[in-house]
């Protein structure tokens, strides 16, 4: 079983969650709540791998980090 990194975003206008697999170009999903984003992403990755003869990967992906920056008033 392989592991993949996903980035999760929330659209504040629609309150929908969106996820992107960072290693597989063009592999996305969405969900109404955060709990559903993970099974949806798993299914999207499985379908992507199953239905692509040529899988485009992002080989230079290093990871996602949070960076805290002080605000200046």
**What does the pLDDT look like over 23-67, one tens digit per residue?**
888 899 999 999 999 999 999 999 999 887 766 666 666 677 777
Beta strands 16-21 and 6-11, pairing class: antiparallel
pLDDT of residue 3: 85
Bigger pLDDT: 16 or 69? 16
Write out the E strands in the chain: 6-11, 16-21, 28-31
Residue, of 7 and 1, whose pLDDT is higher: 7
pLDDT classification of 14: cutoffs 50, 70, 90: very high
Q: What is the pLDDT of residue 59?
A: 64
pTM of the shown model:
0.74
């Amino acid at each position: 079983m392989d592991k993949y990194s996903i980035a999760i975003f929330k659209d504040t206008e629609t309150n929908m969650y969106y996820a992107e697999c960072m290693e597989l170009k063009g592999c996305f999903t969405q969900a109404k709540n955060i709990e559903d984003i993970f099974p949806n992403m798993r299914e999207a990755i499985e379908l992507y791998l199953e239905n692509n003869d040529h899988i485009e990967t992002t080989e230079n992906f290093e990871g996602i980090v949070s960076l805290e920056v002080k605000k200046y008033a």
